[in-house]
Structure 1
Amino acid sequence: MDTVMETVTSKKVRAVRPVGTRAVLAELDGLAEVLALQDLLNRKPLPGQVDVLAAAETVMVVGESASATRAIGARLLQLELTAPDVTDSGLVVIETVYDGEDLADVAELTGLSVDGVVAAHTGQTWTVAFAGFAPGFGYMVGENNALTVPRRATPRTAVPAGSVALGGEYSAVYPRRSPGGWQLIGRTGARMWDLERPKPALVRPGDRVQYRAVREVVTASAHEPESDSEHHTESGLRIVSPGVQSLIEDLGRRGHGPLGVSAAGALDRASIRRANRLVGNASTAAAIESVGGGLSIEAIGDQVIAVTGAPTTLSVQSPSWVDSVNHDGGPQPGATRTVGMAAPFALLDGEVLSLGVPESGFRNYVAIRGGIDVPAVLGSRSADTMSGIGPAPLTVGKELRAGSDTVSTAVGSPELQPDFPGAETVTVLDVVPGPRADWFDQSALDSLASQDWVVTPQSNRVGMRLDGQPLVRTRDGELPSEGTMAGALQIPPAGLPVLFLADHPITGGYPVIGVVRDEHLDRAAQVPVGGKIRFRLVPDSPDFQTPEK
C-alpha cells in the first residue's frame, strides 16, 4: 500500500457532500490528500470553521452556522492541496504483551504464524493518520499491508482498556473500556488518554509509533482524584436522590474533534438556556440534567432555583427542624408546598426539592443561581457518557457548590415553554438527506419518511435507537470510517436507524442516510422511551459541484 508520506502535488478536493446544515464532508483520493487537507485547515482555518475531523478518505468540517458551512463547502472545492511539512514529532514506544484473544485468528487471516504477526506488528513504524471513536484512540497506518484484516463479524460489547488491536489497514489501542469490533492481538499499560498531562492524548495525528514486545504489562499510575468527603460545601446543593440518571451539563465543549472528543453538553439546549436565564446566570453556566423524574436535591444555604424542560410536579419539603416562629408565617416544620415550572423560586437552607415523573417530555434542567461550580475539562463542565470526560453521574450525598456565573438578576415572571411530546405524540423532525443517502434507493428514503419510528429502551445520550420497518441498503461492503455529528441517522446492517445525540462517537463506519436539522435536536431530546418519531425530508442542502480536474 502507499504510505502516508505519499507526495501530494496540486490536487484538489474530489467532491463535497452536505452533512445536515452545519457540516460538510470533503471526499479525497487517498490518505495523503486527507492529511494534506487536515494540515491546511489546521494552519489556515476557513471563516466560520469550528472543527475538523479527518478520517480514512474524507475530512468533515463543522461550521458555526448554516451560512458559514455553505461558504466552507464552496471554498473547499477551490483549495490547492500540497504535502504537509514533515516534522519530527518523536517516536512513541508502546510496550505490548502479545496475548490477545484474536491473535490466532489474525495469524490465519494473514497467512502468518503467531510469531510472524508479532514480528510484523513490531517490525514497522506506524503513523497516526487521524483520531476518532474515543479520546486517545488513534488510527495508525503502517509501512506495509501485511496485517490488513477485516473487523470481527460481531463486535464485542466491552473491550478492555489498553487492548492493542487491528482493524482493516489500521492498528490502534483502546484507551478505555468500550464496545469494539477490532481484532485484539495484545495489551499495553500505556495510558493513551490522561487529562493530567499537558497534552492528554499520548499519540496525536502525525506522530510515529513503535510497538515493542514485552513479557508483562507495566501500568502507569493514574492520578487519584481528590475526595469530596473532606470538603464541606457552604453554599450549594446536596443530592438526596439522583433519580434514574442525573448529570452535570452545560452547552458543551467544541473544537476537540481531532482528539476524539465530541461536544457533549445538554441535549435540550433551549431548556438549559431558559433555566439559566430565569435565575440570572450566563447561558454557559452548568446545571443538572435529569431523566424521567425522581431527582431530589437539598439546599445548602438559601438558593434561587429554576426547573425547565419536561412538565412535572415540583414539590418542596421544609426540614423538620424549621422554627416556624422565626420564619414569621413562613413554612411550617415538615410542610410541603409546590412550585411552578419555568419560574425562579427560593429553596431555603435544608429544604428539599423533588421532581415528579414528567407528564410529557423526558428531560428536566435544574439551574441554581451562580451555576454549579465543578472543574472544567477542555473548557466545559459537561459530563460525556461516551468518553468518560467531565463530572461523574450524581450519587446520593454528593454536594455541588454554587458558583458565581451570573450576569443579571433573577427573572421576575415565568417563561413560556414549548409543548413537549407524550408517549402517544408523534414528534416530527426535519432531516436533510445524506451524506450517504446514495447507499439507499428511493424506496428506503420513502420508508424512512413514511413510518413512525419508536424510541427503544436501549437509547441513551450517545444515540436514540429506533424500531420500525428496517431500511434496506443497495450497496454491500463496509464504509470507511468518517466524521459524524449529532443529528446523524446511521443505518447499521440490520436496517434500524440510530439517531446520534450529543455524546456520539466522532467517527462512524455505517452510512448516514440523513441528518436531523440542528434546530430540531432539542425536540428529539424530549421524546420519551416508547415515544414516536416521524422524519420529514427537507432536501434544501446546497448542491456542491465537483471541481474541474
Structure 2
Amino acid sequence: MTAFRTASRQHLLIDCADLTETMRLHHSLETAALPGVLELVPAARTVLVRFDPARTSARELESAITGLDLASGASGDERSVSIDVVYDGEDLAEVADLLGVSSAEVIARHQRARWQVAFSGFAPGFGYLAGDDPLFDVPRRSSPRTRVPVGSVALAGEFTGVYPRSSPGGWQLIGRTDAVLWDLDRDPPALFVPGTIVTFKDAGRETVRAAERTNATDQVAGDTVAAAGEATAADGQGEAEPQAHDSAAAASASITVVQPGLQLLIEDLGRPGFASMGVSGAGAADRGALLAANRLVGNAEGAACLESFGGGVVLDITGDGVAAVTGAEGPITVTSAAGTVFRPHLGEAFSLVHGDRIELGAVTSGVRRYLAIRGGIAAPTALGSASADTLGHLGPAALTAGDTIGLNDPRTAPHLVDPGPRLGEDQTLPAPGDLVELTVTLGPRDDWFTAAGIETLLSQEWTVTYESDRVGLRLSGDVPLERARSGELPSEGAVTGALQVPPNGQPVLFGPDHPLTGGYPIIGSVEDTDLAAQLAPGVRIRFRVSAPDTSATTDES
C-alpha cells in the first residue's frame, strides 16, 4: 500500500500500487474480517473501507491493514463462469486497428486470456474484468454512445466488461452475449462478483439473437451518464421499466395515489452491504426524518415510508390507521369522506379513517417530506430493502397517479404510538435564498487541488442548482475550484456526501443514489447529509472544515 486517505468520518481509502495489489488487498481484507469493518469497495487502484467508528478507528485500521500479508491475497479457489459471445461488435475492426492486429487475433486472444473480476461499479452487475494479456489496453470512444445494447461485450483501458442493461457508454464494443449478468433470484444476484474468473467462448453467429433477449435485467440494473468510470454524478438517469404497485391486492388497508407531485418514492433505510456488486445503499435521503416519522407511529425504524419531493401530493386512504409527516415544512391537510378538514402539524402523529384524503401542499422550507403510517408500507423488496434507487433502478418505481399500494396490519408495529412532543419544532430548514453551513471533511483527493482551490471551497458561497436530484446536488460558484493536477483518476469508490469535482471546477454533492465509483477527484465529504438532502435549488452553502479527528490517520503510510 502506498497511502491511507480519509474519505469520510467512517470511510478509509487505501491507495495501491497497481490493480494486482488492489485485488490482493481486497481478498486479504475479506479473509481477515477485521473488527469494525462493515463493507469493502475495491476499484482500479484503491480499496474503500467503510467502518463503524464505535468499534474501531482509522488509525487502528491502518495499523491492522499494514500488517496484512498480501502475498496470500490469491485464494486459488476462485469462482469461475463461462460466457458465450458472438464477436460482431461495431467497434471490433477499429479495436483491431488500434491494437495493430487483425480482428481474428483480437477475438482469439480475448478468448485465451484469463479474465478476473477486479471490481464492480457503474451499474448493478457490471464487472471490470482484468486480463493477463498485455495486448488489451484500449482507449474509450471519443464520443460515448447514448445507448449501448444489453449484453454488449466491450473493452476500455485494461478491462473488458459486459453491459448488464441498455445504457449510455463509451466502451469499445466487440461482441454480444445472452448471459444474464444480474438476477435477483440468483445468489449472488451478480454473475460477476470480485474475484470471479471469466472465460469467453465464441458462440458463432446464430446462438445469440438480440431480439429475443429477455428484458428482466433491465428492470433492476442501473446506468450512469457515461462509460463506466466516467460517471459525473447527477446527469441523466436512463430509463426505468414500468413496475406495477399491486401490493394492495392482499391488504385490507391501502393508499391510492391521486397526484404524486414532483416525485413520490417508497423508501426505507436502504440496502447497504452490496457495493461490491455495484449496488448503492440508496434509502431515504433524509434518514433522520424517516426515523422520526416511524418513531411517531410506533413502527420499526426501518419501515418503508413515502418520500415526497416538493409537495403537490394527494393520497386517498382505504382503512383506518395512524400517520405522521416529518421533514420539510409545508401544509398538511386531511379531508374526511364527509368533507371535514383537519390540518395536522408537522412532526406529530394523527389518526386516519377510511375514506380520508391526505394532501401535502407545496413545501416552504426544505424539499423532502416523509409520510409514515403505522404498520408500514407493504412494498416488494430487492436485496432486503423496499427503497427506490433512482440510478440503479432497484426497488419500486416512482409512484404515479392511479397507483395503489398496500399497508401492513398496524398491529404488527412493534412500539406504541408516540403522539409528541412534535418532532422537528426546533429545526429550521432552509428555503431558496437562505444561507446554510455544511461541515466537510477534506479528502481523499484534496491534494489534487491547489491551496487556492481549497480556499475557494471554504471561503466562497455555493448555490444549489436546478440540476439536482437524489443522485447528487450540482453546485455553482463564481470561482471554480483550481486543480493542482490535470486528468482523471482510475475509477475509485465514492461515498454519500462526497464532493466530486468534474473538469469545470463546480462540485457535485453526492446523494443516496450516487454512482459507487468514478474518476473525478473528490475534494471532501459532507457530514450533514440529512441537511444536504433538504437543500432546494437556490439555497446558498458555505463549507467549513470539521474539527480534527484525533483517531484519524495521516495520508502517507
TM above 0.5: yes
SS of 1:68's equivalent in the other structure is coil
> Shift of the alpha carbon at 1:210?
2.1
Does 1:372 find its partner at 2:362?
no
Match runs of 1:85-484 below 5 Å: 85-89=74-78, 91-213=80-202, 214-216=204-206, 217-218=208-209, 221=214, 228=246, 231=249, 233-319=251-337, 333-403=338-408, 406-413=413-420, 414-417=422-425, 418-468=427-477, 469-484=479-494
Does 1:521 find its partner at 2:529?
yes
> Shift of the alpha carbon at 1:137?
0.9
Query: Which one of the candidate residues 41, 45, 52 is aligned to 1:53?
Result: 41
Aligned pairs, number: 520
> Shift of the alpha carbon at 1:203?
1.7
* Amino acid in structure 2 at the alignment position of 1:252: G
For the aligned residue pairs, the C-alpha RMSD in angstroms reads 2.3
SS of 2:64's equivalent in the other structure is helix
Cα displacement string for residues 221-244 of structure 1 (whole angstroms, at most 9, x for unaligned residues): 466988829925311322122111
* Amino acid in structure 2 at the alignment position of 1:533: I
Q: Structure 2 regions of 5+ residues with no counterpart?
A: 220-242
2:252/2:319 contact within 8 Å kept: yes
Fraction of identical pairs, as percent: 45
Q: Counterpart of 1:72? A: 61
2:78/2:196 contact within 8 Å kept: yes
* Amino acid in structure 1 at the alignment position of 2:503: P
SS of 1:362's equivalent in the other structure is strand
Mapped to 1, the partners of 2:490 and 2:518 lie a distance apart of: 8
* Amino acid in structure 1 at the alignment position of 2:183: D
SS of 1:339's equivalent in the other structure is coil
Q: Counterpart of 1:329? A: none
SS of 1:465's equivalent in the other structure is strand
Q: Is the alpha carbon distance of 1:540 and 1:179 closer, same or farther for their aligned partners in structure 2, counting shifts above 3 Å?
A: farther
1:129/1:141 contact within 8 Å kept: yes
Q: Once structures 1 and 2 are overlaid, which stretch shifts more, 128-137 or 116-125?
A: 116-125
Mapped to 1, the partners of 2:532 and 2:119 lie a distance apart of: 31
Q: Is the alpha carbon distance of 1:230 and 1:255 closer, same or farther for their aligned partners in structure 2, counting shifts above 3 Å?
A: closer
Mapped to 2, the partners of 1:338 and 1:230 lie a distance apart of: 26
> Shift of the alpha carbon at 1:539?
6.4
Q: Is the alpha carbon distance of 1:110 and 1:85 closer, same or farther for their aligned partners in structure 2, counting shifts above 3 Å?
A: closer
Mapped to 1, the partners of 2:257 and 2:493 lie a distance apart of: 37
Mapped to 2, the partners of 1:509 and 1:185 lie a distance apart of: 24
Mapped to 1, the partners of 2:277 and 2:539 lie a distance apart of: 34
SS of 2:135's equivalent in the other structure is coil
2:480/2:504 contact within 8 Å kept: yes
> Shift of the alpha carbon at 1:264?
0.6
Q: Structure 1 regions of 5+ residues with no counterpart?
A: 1-12, 320-332
Query: Which one of the candidate residues 20, 24, 39 is aligned to 2:12?
Result: 24
1:14/1:77 contact within 8 Å kept: no
Q: Counterpart of 1:14? A: 2
Mapped to 2, the partners of 1:230 and 1:276 lie a distance apart of: 20
Cα displacement string for residues 132-170 of structure 1 (whole angstroms, at most 9, x for unaligned residues): 222111110112121212223444444332222212100
Mapped to 2, the partners of 1:125 and 1:174 lie a distance apart of: 19
Q: Is the alpha carbon distance of 1:431 and 1:154 closer, same or farther for their aligned partners in structure 2, counting shifts above 3 Å?
A: farther
Q: Give me the TM-score of the superposition, normalised by structure 1.
A: 0.89
Mapped to 2, the partners of 1:190 and 1:507 lie a distance apart of: 24
* Amino acid in structure 2 at the alignment position of 1:19: A
> Shift of the alpha carbon at 1:21?
0.7
Q: Is the alpha carbon distance of 1:367 and 1:234 closer, same or farther for their aligned partners in structure 2, counting shifts above 3 Å?
A: same
Cα displacement string for residues 90-139 of structure 1 (whole angstroms, at most 9, x for unaligned residues): 54222233343433432332223334433332332311112222211111
Q: Is the alpha carbon distance of 1:207 and 1:391 closer, same or farther for their aligned partners in structure 2, counting shifts above 3 Å?
A: same
Mapped to 2, the partners of 1:148 and 1:179 lie a distance apart of: 21
Q: Is the alpha carbon distance of 1:105 and 1:443 closer, same or farther for their aligned partners in structure 2, counting shifts above 3 Å?
A: farther
Cα displacement string for residues 311-359 of structure 1 (whole angstroms, at most 9, x for unaligned residues): 011112223xxxxxxxxxxxxx234332211111112111110111101
Mapped to 2, the partners of 1:534 and 1:181 lie a distance apart of: 35
2:386/2:395 contact within 8 Å kept: yes
* Amino acid in structure 1 at the alignment position of 2:157: G
Mapped to 2, the partners of 1:66 and 1:178 lie a distance apart of: 40
> Shift of the alpha carbon at 1:220?
5.6
Mapped to 2, the partners of 1:466 and 1:206 lie a distance apart of: 37
Q: Counterpart of 1:536? A: 544
Q: Is the alpha carbon distance of 1:419 and 1:227 closer, same or farther for their aligned partners in structure 2, counting shifts above 3 Å?
A: closer
Q: Is the alpha carbon distance of 1:535 and 1:102 closer, same or farther for their aligned partners in structure 2, counting shifts above 3 Å?
A: farther
Mapped to 1, the partners of 2:279 and 2:2 lie a distance apart of: 27
